[in-house]
Structure 1
C-alpha cells in the first residue's frame, strides 16, 4: 500500500488534468489524505479515488500540485530525471541536431514543471522556478551531468516568480567552469551570450526559426532605386550580368538589392544579424539599454557587418513617434511647396522622418497579468501603428508579442486596428509561434505565449 500522501479532486471540477494540463489549483482540491510535505510528491486522485497521476505539493503556491507523472511515482530521483532528460535530448536532436545550442528542457512541455535548461555550446544555464524542483536539485543536477556532460552548469533563478513558491532568487555556478560570455552559433551566425547578466538565461532561443523566416523580405528592393540587372558582353565574348543604375553606370555596392531595416527592442541584435546575413543594405539596431547594445555591437562586429549597421540607444515608442512627426512635417512642407505656399525652411525638422523597407518589433512582455492586458494592447497598437506609418509602400512589418495574457486573436485584432488607424491595408504572410525546442502541450494555453507575424503593408490611397 502506498505511503505517499494523496489529494482528492472535486467532483465538479473541469477535467483539465485529463485534458493534459499539469497544474492543480487549490480550489480544485476536495481533501488530502496523509500528511503531504511541501515540495514532495503526492498522489492525485479523482473524487472516486481513481489515481490520475503524481505531482509535487506546495500549499504556499496557488498552483498547489504540479504533475510529473500520469501514474504512480515513488520519487523524483536521478533515474527519473535521467529518463526525462534523455527524452528531451532525443527531441532536440531530431529537430535541431545533436550539438545545437538551444532550449534543452522546457518545463511542463518536457514533463518537468518548474525546470528550464538552456544549452550554450557546452555550458548549461538552468532556471529553477518551483519548490519541488528546488528540493530535487541534487537529483536533477547529477542527471544533467550524466546525460549532457557539460563543461559547466550555471543557475539563473533570479526571477520574481520564485517568491510565489516561497523561494528566494539565486544565481551562481552549480558545476564546473562557467565563463560569463559564451559564443554560440545560430543559423550560421555568431552570437555572444552573457549568461550572468543577459535577460532570462542570457538569450531568447524561442525566436530562432522566426529570425530565419525574414530571409525573403530582405532582398528584391534594388528596382525601387532604379537599379536593374543587364547582361553585358566583353570584348573577348564573355557575358556577365551586372547591376546598373538609371544612368547606365555600374553599381558596385554589393548590397544594392537589399532592404533598409529597423529592429526595435533589439536586445543583442539577433534580428539585425539575420537581416545583414540575408543581404540588407542598411540596418538600424535600436534598444533602450546601453548594456544590450554593447553586446549587439560585439555580435555585429564578429560577424563582419559593422559597415551596414547603425546603433540607436532610445525608447522605441518615443523614437517611432519622433520619426512619424518628422515624416509628417516633411510631407506638409512638400505639399505646401506644390501649392505655392511659402514655407519657412530655416526652422529645422523635428526629426529626420526616416522610413524603412522592413521594420521589426520584438518587445518584452507588456502584460504579465490579466489586469495589464488593456494597457498592453494600447502599447502594441501604438508601436505597430507608428511602424506602419514609417514603412515604405509595400514594405513589411515583422511584429511579435510574448505576453501570454494577450491571446493570439486579440493580438491580431490589435494589429488590424492599428492598420485601420494608420490608413493601411495589411496582408498576413507568416503567423508563427515559438520554435521546435519550445514544444507546446495541447491543452496548456500558458505555453502558447509567443505570437509572431509578418505583414505586407500598403496604403489605402495607393490601392
Structure 2
C-alpha cells in the first residue's frame, strides 16, 4: 500500500485525536495512487499512524479512516462505523428526524446523512468518501430496516461549493427512485414541511432542536421577535409554547413562504406572523418606532466561513446583538448564537460583552448551549464544534 510519511514535528492534529493531515505536513508519498485511494500514514520515524484516503487536489491531503494499520476499509468496516453512529443516536436524541452521520465526528470524514422521517438526505464533501458512499448507504438502509424503519427515498445535496476544493463537481439529485421532496416531520411537537430539494443545506437545521425547546420555555404570554427565522422553527416553538404574539423575520421569500405554510400546518397563523425583510435594516426601524419585545431570538447564518473574514463577522454579530438588546424590555430574554466554527467561543463571548457595554445593558446568563447531540463534537476536530448558543436575561443598568 502507498505510504505517506509526515515531516518531523508535524501531524499534531491527528496525534491529538483529529482526522486531518494537511498537504504541508507530508514529507513523502511512496507508491502510486489515484485520488480517493486509501493510503497508510506513517510518522517521520516510520511509526504507523493508521489509514486514510488521499486527495492531491485538497489542502486536507489525507482524511483518516482508522488508527489500526491492519484494518481493511471494506464493507464490514463501514457497516461497523454506521452501526455505531446509529446506536449513538438511539441513546442520545429523538431519532424520528436526526443527523445520523456527522462526518469526522462519526469517523466517516466528509459525509453527512440526515434522516427526515422516512427520507434520507446525503451530503458528500470529500472524494474518498464519495467512492464509498453507495456502500455506506446500503449498510445504513439495512441497519434501519433491522430496527423496523423503512426508508422510502434518498436525495443527495452535494451541491456545496467546498466540493470544488476536492476537484469534484457539485451534484443535487435522487439516489434511486424519485419521490415527493416535501417531507413532513415533527420536532418538539411542531410540524414542518421540509423541502429537501430546494431548502438550505439538507433542508432543515436539526442542530438547533433542543435549543428551540429551551427558548420556548421563556415564551408563554410573551411578545417574541425571531430574527433570521428561515422556515419559522424558533417562531413556531414560541407559538406552541403559548406566546402572546410572534414575528419571524427573514430575507428569503422562499423561506418566509414555507414558514407561513408551517404556521398553518400547526394552527398558529393567528399568533405567529412572518415578514420578509433585511434584519440589519429592520431592527433600527423598530427601534425608531419605540417597539419593545419580551423575547428576541437571533439565529443568523454564518457571517464568516474563513479566518480572513472574522473581523467583519465580529462587526455583524456585535451590530445585531446591540440592536436586539435595545429592543428588549428591561428583564427581557435574548437567545443568540453563531454557527461558524471560525467565530470561536471566546470571540463570540467577547463580542456579546462589547455589545452589552455599548448599550449599557447587563447580561445575566441563563444558559450556554451548543449543537444537539446528533451533531457530536469530536475533541481535536475543531470543525465539529461550530454552534455557540447563549440565552441571557437583559437588564438595564440601574
TM-score of the pair, normalised by structure 2:
0.96
**Alpha-carbon offset, residue 12 of structure 1:** 1.5
8 Å CA contact retained: 1:22, 1:108: yes
Report the counterpart of residue 98 of structure 2 in structure 1: 102
1:339-380 per-position Cα deviation (integer Å, ceiling 9, x unaligned) = xxxxxxxxxxxxxxx111000000000001111100000000
Give the structure 1 partner of residue 83 of structure 2: 86
Say yes or no: does 1:77 pair with 2:14: no
Residue number in structure 1 paired with 2:228: 265
Matches within 5 A, 1:80-159: 80-97=77-94, 99-149=95-145, 150-159=151-160
User: Please, which runs of 5 or more residues in structure 1 have no aligned partner?
Assistant: 220-257, 328-353
Which residue of 2 is the match for residue 5 of structure 1?
A: 2
Corresponding residue to 1:376 among 308, 313, 325: 313
Change (3 A) 1:73 1:195: farther
- Counterpart CA distance in 2 for 1:52 and 1:459 is 55
Q: Distance in 2 between matches of 1:421 and 1:394?
A: 18
The structural deviation recorded for 1:403 is 1.3
Task: Verify: 1:292 aligned to 2:264, yes or no.
Answer: no
Q: Which residue of 2 aligns with 1:316?
A: 279
Cα deviation for residue 177 of structure 1 reads: 4.1
* Aligned residue number for residue 430 of structure 1: 367
Shift of 1:137: 2.8
Distance 1:157 1:57 in 2: 19
Partner of 1:192: 193
Which residue is 1:402 aligned to?
339
Checking the alignment, whether the CA contact within 8 Å between 2:236 and 2:272 is kept in structure 1 is no
Tell me the equivalent position of 1:36. 33
C-alpha deviation, 1:217, in angstroms: 1.3
Alignment of 1:217-256 (within 5 A): 217-219=218-220
Q: Give 1:275's aligned residue.
A: 238
What secondary structure sits across from 2:8 in the alignment? coil
What is the root-mean-square deviation of aligned Cα atoms in Å? 1.2
Checking the alignment, whether the CA contact within 8 Å between 2:83 and 2:140 is kept in structure 1 is no
Inter-CA distance 188–14: structure 2 relative to 1 (3 Å threshold): same
Range with greater deviation from structure 2 (178-187 or 153-162): 178-187
- Distance in structure 2 (CA, Å) of the matches to 1:42 and 1:107: 19
SS in 2 for 1:213: helix
- CA shift for structure 1 position 89: 0.6
- 1:374-405 CA distances to partner (integer Å, 9 max, x unpaired)? 00000000000001000011001110101111
Alignment counterpart, residue 14 of structure 2, candidates 12, 17, 26: 17
The alpha-carbon deviation at position 11 of structure 1 amounts to 1.4
Structure 2 distance, partners of 1:186, 1:434, is 15
Alpha-carbon distance between aligned partners in 2 of 1:89 and 1:141, rounded to the nearest angstrom: 12
Q: Alpha-carbon deviation of 1:277?
A: 1.2
Please state whether the residue corresponding to 2:129 is helix, strand or coil: helix
Normalising to structure 1: TM-score of the pair?
A: 0.83
1:143 shift after superposition: 1.8
Match of 2:62 among 62, 65, 69: 65
Residue 119 of structure 1 and its aligned partner are, at CA, apart by 0.1
Corresponding residue of 1:454: 391
Deviation at 1:84, TM superposition (A): 1.1
Seen in structure 2, the aligned counterparts of structure 1 residues 142 and 186 have a Cα distance that, compared at 3 Å, is same
Q: How does 1:354-393 map to 2 (within 5 A)?
A: 354-393=291-330
**Higher relative contact order structure (alpha carbons within 8 Å, sequence separation ≥ 6):** 2
Name the count of aligned residue pairs.
393
Give 1:326 shift.
2.4
Displacement, 1:72? Answer: 2.4
Q: Distance in 1 between matches of 2:75 and 2:140?
A: 9
| Structure-2 residue corresponding to 1:48 | 45
Any idea what SS the aligned residue of 2:130 has? helix
Q: Which among 290, 305, 308 is matched to residue 268 of structure 2?
A: 305
Aligned to 1:230: none
Deviation at 1:79, TM superposition (A): 2.2
Give the aligned partner of residue 202 of structure 1: 203
In 2, Cα distance between equivalents of 1:402 and 1:154: 24
CA distance in 1, matches of 2:187, 2:70: 38
